[in-house]
A and B are shown apart, each in its own frame.
Chain A
């Protein structure tokens, strides 16, 4: 059983409250990475298989999960699906496979980002920071009106005809960003930078998958979107 909470007394106390669940079946990676993340100022709990991960997740309610895909007992996809049933905690997937199908599947299941092994620990830290920033983002103002939608910025919810639509934080951020600049075309790079908060090159497929998931929730006919339109070769635009 590898279940240990690493903490570092020297870390920034304001960030100490941020709890990361790190799941990988590779003991050496787990140890090195949790040491690195602890030094970066987060509280890290590790798990080495899928079942353990779910168990720990329910116990500690982490602020972020870093999840390897190839896990014994329950694989990363199963864990992701299970977590998403009850929580919209940000999930970063780790994968040693190149298959874009794997990556897309991870994103479809509700992961917020993925990182391909081997990775640079600095980049992982940057991604964690970007995601946490987004998760803690607060909006000024109260509501945005958009066609027949009402976007409540305080409770971070979207409703149509009084019926609430459940969006993940990333989807919500994406919608708000597009809704605040109606008619403006954003390239995928723009969106990665402005919504995801990446100051490093990220995978543009992440944007596509999130746009598609958002369309599934807000478009009348997701196959023929009228609200969030694609400008081929340019990017996405919200047409109110």
Chain B
């Protein structure tokens, strides 16, 4: 295991807070390093330049003093050297132009007679020069100036100054700057942690909410906070959670309703079966009831399966051009015998000048129209009727089914087509409807991007209108 992984186990280095804090701290340290470097460089340049200027003045003074002393035979040269040395706070040497030390201010003949190996640029000066060097003992300044007199051979004065105090000052400055930088870095790291909190807190809440949803608690809500993007995320999440919860509620209601629809006939069947079992001679009416309830159960299951198929988002209707008249003719062929059994008359639409065509799935459209007419047949009193009309506009066709049934109260019209909705439970139960027929119609019409409308004028029955877009008649009719 690498050190990184070990670290990661104890400190969550991959967490946003940690990473942000560390980034801030690193940034602060890099800035500190750059600034410190710059400050030291500028500081040392300024100090050295000042020292060199002073050294130049001092060495020029020393050279002048030596020149005057050489012109004066009574002058004590070593006295001059000491004086100059004292004045300039450095070590003054008097050299032959070949570099041999003739006089050393510090100690009589300490370097006397030795040959100084002066740096190239200082060896043959024509005017005073000062240079700073980093010696092993610390920083020094060497300043040289030629001493030329008419009667003496050329010689030069060397001033050596210890300027290691500058080094100390700079080191102190560096330490101070790094200390400040370090504190700054800590501050920034803390700032990063705090700032990351404003991001991690909303994220943590979102994560908790998602986990709750995963656990099945779908009604989740988070408070939008933090940055704009996080607020947006929270709002989007809330909308999604609300939708999911309501979908789940719908599903739950659907399942409960479906169970109710299946249990009701089952309860009747079970009671009938028990009664038939106990009764030695089952009556014809009981058998008829048994068959009726079984058929009803079968119809409910069929309808539920149809709805499940229509609910499948992958469903691809087989869209082909259909002549509306042919579609209606097939529906009438199926429904006429059913209607005749209850003495209900179905009236076919009149011939039109231009017979409309629609694009649709013939099976689904057939089922939708059978369901609408089936409703009419179911609710019309005997000897009633249902009339089908076809109304064309330039690009739509409305198929209108008007029956002579009891109609639907105005307040219930908007509920028609809802799953399991029944206008009156009593009426439907004896008729055996499952409350799914018009829901299936609605799904099919939606699948064809059509419109479904219900009307129930006073004194008349229910009018169901299906409006579909028309298509031009195909060239070669299949």
Interface residues of chain A, those whose CB is within 8 Å of chain B, are: 25-29, 31-33, 35-36, 39, 48-49, 70-73, 94, 96-99, 116-122
Q: Is the CB of B272 within 8 A of A117?
A: no
Chain B residue nearest to A48 (CB atoms) is B426
Nearest-neighbour CB distance to chain A for B439, whole angstroms, equals 18
Residue total for B at the interface (Cβ-Cβ under 8 A): 27
Q: A98-B256, A99-B256 are in contact. Are A33 and B271 (CB under 8 A)?
A: yes
* A121-B429 in contact given A32-B275, A72-B424 (Cβ < 8 Å): no
Give A11 to B464 CA distance when docked, in angstroms.
53
Q: What residues of chain B lie closer than 8 Å to A39, measured between beta carbons?
A: 278-279
Q: Is the CB of A31 within 8 A of B274?
A: no
B145 sits at the interface (CB 8 A): no
Known pairs A36-B271, A39-B278, A119-B270; A26 contacts B429 (CB<8 A)? yes
26 A–B contacts from the bound complex (CB under 8 Å): A27-B429, A28-B268, A28-B292, A29-B268, A29-B271, A31-B286, A32-B274, A32-B275, A32-B286, A33-B271, A33-B275, A35-B279, A36-B271, A36-B278, A39-B279, A71-B425, A72-B426, A73-B426, A96-B259, A97-B260, A98-B256, A118-B270, A119-B267, A121-B270, A121-B274, A121-B275
CA distance A94 to B271 in the complex (A): 13
- In this complex, what residue of A is CB-closest to B283? A35
Task: From A48, A119, A120, name the one whose CB has the most chain B CB atoms within 10 angstroms.
Answer: A119
**Chain B residues closer than 8 Å to A98, beta-carbon distance:** 256, 259
Which residues of chain B come closer than 8 Å to A49, judged between CB atoms? 426
Chain A residue nearest to B422 (CB atoms) is: A72
Residue with the highest number of chain A CB atoms closer than 10 Å, among B269, B272, B424: B272
Contact check, B289 vs A31: say whether CB atoms are below 8 A apart: yes
B263 at the A interface (CB under 8 A): yes
Cβ of A192 to closest chain B Cβ, rounded Å: 23
- A99→B249 CA distance, assembly (Å): 13
Residues on B lying within 8 angstroms of A by beta carbon are 256, 259-260, 263-264, 266-272, 274-275, 278-279, 285-286, 289, 292-293, 424-427, 429-430
Q: How far is the CA of A26 from the CA of B429 in the complex (A)?
A: 7
Chain A to chain B: the 6 pairs with minimum beta-carbon distance, closest first: A117-B267, A72-B426, A29-B268, A96-B263, A118-B267, A28-B289
A56 CA to B286 CA, complexed, in Å: 25
Residues of A within 8 A of B271 (CB): 28-29, 32-33, 36, 121
> Which residue of chain A is the closest to B270 with respect to CB atoms?
A118
Per the bound structure, the CA–CA distance linking A72 and B424 in Å amounts to 7
Nearest-neighbour CB distance to chain A for B307, whole angstroms, equals 19
Contact call B425/A25, Cβ cutoff below 8 A? yes
A32 touches B268 (CB 8 A): yes
> B266's contact among A27, A97, A99, A118, by CB below 8 Å, is which?
A118
What's the Cα separation between A118 and B266 when bound, in Å?
A: 6
Q: Do residues B286 and A96 form an inter-chain contact, with CB atoms below 8 A?
A: no
Question: What A residues does B429 contact at CB under 8 A?
Answer: 25-27, 72
CB contact between A118 and one of B263, B285, B292, B427 (< 8 Å): that residue: B263
**In the docked arrangement, what's the CA distance between A51 and B171, Å?**
102
Min distance, Cβ B229 to any Cβ of chain A, angstroms? 41
Known: A32-B271, A36-B274, A48-B426. A70 touches B260 (CB 8 A): yes
Q: What CA separation (Å) do A32 and B259 show in the bound complex?
A: 22
Distance in angstroms from A39 CB to nearest chain B CB is 7
Which chain B residues border A73 with CB–CB below 8 Å? Answer: 426
Rounded to whole angstroms, the CA-CA distance of A72 and B425 in the bound complex is 5
B429 to chain A: closest residue by CB:
A25
- Residue in A closest to B271 when the chains form the complex, CB atoms: A32
Judging by beta carbons under 8 Å apart, are B270 and A120 in contact?
yes
Check B260 against A28 for contact (C-beta < 8 Å): no
Least CB separation from B285: chain A residue: A31
Chain A residues within an 8 Å CB radius of B424: 72
Report the bound CA distance from A26 to B267 in whole Å: 10
Q: Which residues of A contact B292 (CB under 8 A)?
A: 28
CB-based contact B274/A28 at 8 Å? no
Could you tell me the distance between the alpha carbons of A117 and B286 in the complex, rounded to whole angstroms?
A: 19
Instruction: State the Cβ distance, B222 to closest chain A Cβ, in Å.
Output: 28
Q: Which residues of B contact A28 (CB under 8 A)?
A: 268, 271-272, 289, 292-293
Q: Establish whether residues B430 and A27, one from each chain, have CB atoms under 8 Å apart when the complex forms.
A: yes
Nearest CB on A from B283, distance (A): 9
Residues of A within 8 A of B270 (CB): 118-121
* Docked pose: A48 CA to B264 CA in angstroms: 14
Residues of chain B within 8 A (CB-CB) of A48 are 426
In the docked arrangement, what's the CA distance between A33 and B275, Å? 7
State A36–B293 Cα separation when bound (angstroms). Answer: 18
The answer to whether B426 and A117 have CB atoms under 8 Å apart is no
B426 & A25 in contact (Cβ 8 Å cutoff): yes
The residues of B that contact A29 with a CB separation of less than 8 Å are 264, 267-268, 271-272
Q: Closest CB-CB distance, B133 to chain A, in whole Å?
A: 91
Report the separation of the CA atoms of residues A71 and B427 in the bound assembly, to the nearest whole angstrom.
Answer: 11
Report chain B residues within 8 Å CB of A35: 275, 279
Q: Which residues of A contact B427 (CB under 8 A)?
A: 72
Bound state CA distance, A121 and B274, in angstroms? 7
A118-B269 Cα distance, complex, nearest whole Å: 8
Task: Give chain A nearest CB distance to B397 CB in angstroms.
Answer: 37
Report B459 CB to chain A, min CB distance, Å: 23
For B425, list chain A residues within 8 Å (CB): 25, 70-72
Q: What separation, in Å, do the CA atoms of A29 and B430 have in the docked complex? A: 11
Cβ contacts under 8 Å, A26 to chain B: 264, 267-268, 429
Give B272's nearest chain A residue, CB to CB.
Answer: A32
